A = this chain, B = another copy of it.
Amino acid sequence: MDKPDPSSVPVSSNFGATSRSLPIALLRARERIMVPIREMLQQSGISEQQWRILRVLDEADGMEQTAIAHAACLQLPSLTRILKSMEADGLVARKTDEADRRRTVVTITAEGRSLIARHRARNAEIFATIEAEFGREKLDLLLDLLDELQQTRI
């Protein structure tokens, strides 16, 4: 449980070379992490995308959509539609910037913040578990490597 001993790896999950494929490895790791998070979010009936948007806005409210899309890793067309339903659900509010009427400023509502607050404890618990099982140093190392990879010029 401490070392990635190859002999301890179940033979049934032998994926050959694809297991060393970076895109697939990133995908598999993410799917693994998202299981408990999706379970958590299902109680509020919001998607993981909506959760990302709320967290981004909670950190820096009053953002333009392009900035949100970048921060939450969403395509602008997707964001347009997601925000539309989130606005209808009263989680966010949108208003056009009067100085530059192309821009739209999105703010999180009290209800949006309340939703985040309701899940904060469980969210922290999930990641505390990951940290405990996986190890804090390795987690930090992984985050560093991911951040670096994302900034790599390809």
Contacts and interface: CB of A to CB of B under 8 A. Distances in A.
Contacts of A33: 22-23, 26, 149, 154
At the interface, is chain A mostly helix, strand, loop or mixed? helix
A115 interface: no
A117 to B, nearest CB: 15
Interface in A12-40: 12-37
Nearest to A138: B145
Q: Chain copies in the assembly?
A: 2
Contact of A153 (B17, B25, B133): B133
A14 B146 contact: no
Contacts of A29: 26, 146-147, 149-150
**How big is chain A's contact interface, by range?**
35 or more
A7 interface: no
A134 B146 CA distance: 11
Interface of A: 3-4, 8-37, 48, 52, 55-56, 59-62, 67, 70-73, 126-127, 129-130, 133-134, 138-139, 141-154
